[in-house]
Amino acid sequence: MQTLTTIDALRCCIKAWRQEGQSIAFVPTMGNLHAGHISLVQTARQQADRVVVSIFVNPAQFGPHEDFASYPRTEQQDQTQLINSGTDLLFLPSAVEMYPNPIQTRVSVNELSSMHCGASRPGHFDGVAIVVCKLLNMVQPDILLLGEKDFQQLTVIKTMVNDLNLPVAVQGLPTVREADGLAMSSRNSYLSLSERQVAPLLYLTLCNIRDAILKGRGDFPVIIAEQTQKLKDAGFLIDYVQICRSTDLLPPTEIDQELVILIAAKLGKTRLIDNVYFIRPVSS
């Protein structure tokens, strides 16, 4: 596996692969890799001749009081995992390499970026959009692979790619979970031992809401209130729970079948997000 730290070196390598007619799959990450990231790399390995992974903790997507400085950085262990999973190239740029000057160009997916997590983290998805747009221009992959754990982020990036006619196929892969259902996340390391035991209730709540809807209940606010009370009793501070149509994350109409339940909540100091996608039968 090559490890490159400059855009010029990255582009030189990509150009050589392209001249050989090779296809490229790309997995962008912020490091502190877990099994969810590695599943993306393994799928990428099956779908393209070459696999590029980036590790960059992007300052543009962190708010002024968020965890940029303390975000877990484990580059040595990450590199070992990437070598073992068949990665061809690791792009490991510095913040100066990615943002040599104050950035004056904005990439924003307006409505999608202002709801749900965007309401709690103003500017977050603009930071995601700009860095992914920059990375796609650098790597120029055929396939971009992302996890579905951050369903809103995935939807923002799909919309950006479609709106800007970027020549890349975006593929979302199912959330990888611990044995007790907790979605794998780099921020899980912030949880205390007691919080870690409680954290799987988040996914259980999503499943309970989904199951109630699949049984035919349409009183969404009541279902949410019933289930989130259990989370509050367990010590969660709820940010939001929303039942949305999966295409644009807006409230579903009675005929929408493809739904996603989004949730964000704090447990202690740790902000957790999760979601469940499902298809609701709609009677004709």
Give the separation between CA 6 and CA 91, rounded to whole angstroms.
8
Q: Which 3 state secondary structure label does DSSP give 103?
A: coil
As given in the structure block, the two tokens for residue 167 are 């020549």
Give the catalytic positions in this structure: 37
Count Cα atoms within 13 angstroms, Cβ side, for 181: 14
Dihedral pair phi/psi, residue 269, rounded to 5°: -95, 0
Dihedral pair phi/psi, residue 112, rounded to 5°: -60, -35
As given in the structure block, the two tokens for residue 280 are 């609701």
Nearest to 54 by CA among 109, 131, 119, 118: 131
The residue assigned the tokens 């899980």 is: 188
